[in-house]
Amino acid sequence: MYNSPFPPWTPQLVQDEIDALKHEPGALLPILHAIQDRFGHIPREAVPLIAESLQLTRAEVHGVISFYHHFRTSPPGRHVVQICRAEACQARGARALESHARETLGIDYHQTTADREITLEPVYCLGNCACGPSLRVDDRILARVTPERFDRLVDELTTQVLKVS
Amino acid sequence: MTTRLFVPRETTALALGADEVAERIEAEAEARGVEVELVRNGSRGLFWLEPLVEVETPAGRIAYGPVAPEDVAGLLDAGLLEGSATSPLCQGPTEEIPYLQAQQRLTFSRIGVTDPLSLEDYCAHDGFRGLRRALGLDSQAIIDEVKASGLRGRGGAAFPTGIKWQTVLDAPAAQKYIVCNADEGDSGTFADRLVMECDPYLLIEGMAIAGLAVGATQGYVYLRSEYPLAQEIFNEAIARAEAAGYLGGDILGSGQAFHLEVRLGAGAYICGEETSLLESLEGKRGMVRFKPPLPAIEGLFGQPTVVNNVLSLAAVPFILGDGGQAYADYGMGRSRGTLALQLAGNVQRGGLVELAFGTTLRQLMEEFGGGTFTGRPLRAVQVGGPLGAYLPESQWDLPLDYEAFAEVGAVLGHGGVVMFDDTVDMAEQARFAMEFCTVESCGKCTPCRIGSVRGVEVIDRIRAGERREANLALLADLCETMVDGSLCAMGGMTPFPVQSVMKHFPDDLQRDAQPR
Ligand SMILES: Cc1cc2nc3c(=O)[nH]c(=O)nc-3n(C[C@H](O)[C@H](O)[C@H](O)COP(=O)(O)O)c2cc1C
Ligand code: SF4
Ligand code: FES
């Protein structure tokens, strides 16, 4: 069975995150990060709570969430895999890696595999530009990722899950 | 007897397996009953040798690399702990590796040498000398030192740092801010990350000095969310520096205050632009502000604010410690001091190269880089990130100097050098430049927001062979409109790579796109 790595959110838990940070100057981004770090995404229902607490309109809060590529409003899969699409990685074969990844996972960017194991996202540079193609799995960064290495990684990620469940 | 070994803890070294190497060393040492002390140092920035393991011997530190976990047992058998040179992985004394020896490391003198989080180590290697000196000077004297250094901002625009600080000092206000731009969005750049991961107290020291110089008591580091390890290490460094009195309400008992906090970006390239960055720090969409007012007059929360790149601030401790003149003695023309070059992309020996301004690109790519990683001929080099021009071979003898680059329509930017071999399709690179702008435009002005979308479409038509000449003329027009009509350099410079392809690699635009 699929286990989410994140606990389910409740209005109270979301409010706790907001209350911990709302007095900071420019608190909105830190609050959004805190919510996403904890629950894996920013639930739509969090928007009115944030708006109320920071005395902003809902439209303003929504406008900020949608502006930044990092924030997502629906839960991701168990692992988030980001592939670097930027020039230094392109020069070392990132384009081939991208198409391989999309083909083998059967999804496009910003989508999650049917078994909810992997969410695929593009990223523009991980600062590992001398040893690309680069990839980030959750908080781990990998260097010189070939299509073969990508397949092994996906295997590893999915077999680990079997052990846990 | 305990032997000290160094295994880096830095993003690229870790991405290449440094943790696994460290674990293997500990396990092997235990199995053999030898005592080792593992130091997790920063990286020297010699990435083709990572993971680079060093051992401390009476003759200095000896380097081995690149070390894979399965090499560890063999290395120990071959006398790793004594610094034996019998293994082919042995690179000899670290400091004598030519790539390192040929550099002029002022800002990066400590990276890879020390344990990044050890305050003792930092102090033992000249750390906080600049801050201690600054504490004995008045604001104007600190700024005069920075002016004398000739330091120009390393984030891209190359504006003189001393003049920026002077503006903030002269702006009367109850609260001022130091904002460090650690958004490092350019592809091919990682020097900011290296500072934060491998020598974090350097940036802390630089920011504290900036605070003293302009009378700011609060600093923010705006760090991109793509750098999780930098965030972890830097936050720990702030906590330790505060506990030891280098930050906080009373810096080293001087009665002066400087507080520092890291704020995380959220994956938007435009937030590297300083006014977008300030909007983002205030909790808004990262939309570019009209200038004037300059951030130095009305910046964060409407207050006078210094916005500087990581490397600009990281150059300051040397400048205060050794004097502005010592820094200005390096360089050429109006480009003073050293430049942190980052060799990336299709390169044999990628990494960080700190050199005085004035070396040529070719020297850098050949003597340091050793040519391409694939061994094929080098064809194009993009310098200065995604908004920088692609340079053909005829331009590789340009000296690395802000003015020399500007003269040919190129930029040095943040010092990223991205190499491409002859398999590159330059039409595809031109298309990507426009595509990147469609993804990252803040949307405030039409030439950038709509122009980049049109740009992708026109290039697609050109690559499909549809009315090629007419569409090439249209693309040239569109580029001009974007350059002239955009509010900031995102839309204003996106045409640079495109125009460079049209000018220097026209054949690629005459060929039909290869099906992939
Ligand atoms: C689209 C765009 C992106 C930028 N990205 C960065 C960046 O990632 N880091 C940075 O330091 N400066 C960046 N800049 C330059 C900043 O706007 C600003 O000039 C710089 O932070 C000033 O610091 P400095 O004087 O120390 O260079 C960018 C500018 C533009 C127009
Ligand atoms: S040029 Fe682009 S990024 Fe810059 S202000 Fe205009 S729309 Fe925004
Ligand atoms: S370009 Fe891919 S990590 Fe920098």
Alpha-helical runs (H) found in B269-391: 274-281, 310-322, 324-328, 361-363
Whether A88 sits inside 8 A of B187 (CB atoms) is yes
Residues in chain A: 165
Q: What are phi and psi of A138, to 5 degrees?
A: 55, -115
Whether B418 sits inside 8 A of A71 (CB atoms) is no
Angle among Cα B123, B124, B127 to the nearest 5 degrees reads 35
Residues in Cβ contact with B96 at an 8 Å cutoff, skipping those fewer than 6 apart = none
* Predicted local confidence at residue B513, as pLDDT: 80
Alpha-carbon gap, residue A43 to A163, rounded angstroms: 29
Other beta carbons less than 10 A from residue A111's beta carbon: 15
Q: What are phi and psi of A114, to 5 degrees?
A: -60, -35
Question: Chain B: residue nearest A87 by CA?
Answer: B187
B423 inside 8 A of chain A by CB:
no
Does ligand 3 come within 6 angstroms of the Cβ of A92? no
Ligand 1 centroid–CA B153 distance in Å is 9
* Predicted local confidence at residue B101, as pLDDT: 98
Nearest residue (CA) to ligand 1, atom 28 = B273
Of B385, B364, B508, B366, nearest to B440 by C-alpha is B385
The 10s digit of each residue's pLDDT in B286-309 is: 999 999 999 999 999 999 999 999
Nearest-atom number in ligand 2 for the CA of B442 is 8
Does ligand 3 come within 6 angstroms of the Cβ of A36? no
Residues in Cβ contact with B41 at an 8 Å cutoff, skipping those fewer than 6 apart = B6, B7, B8, B9, B54, B112, B113, B114, B115, B116, B198
Residues in chain B: 516
Q: H/E element holding B344?
A: strand B338-345
* Predicted local confidence at residue B428, as pLDDT: 98
Q: Which two tokens stand for residue B120?
A: 């003792």
Q: Which band of pLDDT confidence, cut at 50, 70 and 90, is reported for residue B165?
A: very high
* Predicted local confidence at residue A3, as pLDDT: 66
* Predicted local confidence at residue B254, as pLDDT: 97
- B233 has pLDDT over 80: yes
Q: Which band of pLDDT confidence, cut at 50, 70 and 90, is reported for residue A1?
A: very low
Alpha-carbon gap, residue B386 to B189, rounded angstroms: 11
- Mean pLDDT value across chain B: 97
Ramachandran region of residue B156, left (φ > 0), alpha (ψ -120 to 50) or beta?
left
Alpha carbon separation from B270 to A70, A98, B441 (Å, rounded): 13, 24, 7
- Asked if B186 and B411 touch (Cβ cutoff 8 Å), the reply is no
With beta carbons under 8 A apart, name residues in chain B contacting A129.
187-190, 342, 344-345, 350, 416, 418
The DSSP output letter for B368 is I
Burial of A102 (0-12, 13-18, 19+ CB in 10 A): middle
Of B420, B354, B335, B436, nearest to B383 by C-alpha is B420
Does ligand 3 come within 6 angstroms of the Cβ of A89? yes
- Mean pLDDT to the nearest integer, A12-31: 98
Does ligand 2 come within 6 angstroms of the Cβ of B362? no
* Predicted local confidence at residue A160, as pLDDT: 62
The 10s digit of each residue's pLDDT in A69-96 is: 999 999 999 999 999 999 999 999 999 9
Ligand 3 centroid–CA B188 distance in Å is 6
Of B312, B296, B274, B341, nearest to B149 by C-alpha is B312
Order across the sheet with B177-182: list the strands: B259-264, B218-223, B177-182, B305-309
- B431 has pLDDT over 80: yes
Burial of B138 (0-12, 13-18, 19+ CB in 10 A): exposed
Alpha-carbon gap, residue B234 to B238, rounded angstroms: 6
The DSSP output letter for B112 is T
Of B219, B238, B224, nearest to B303 by C-alpha is B219
- Mean pLDDT value across chain A: 94
* Predicted local confidence at residue A165, as pLDDT: 42
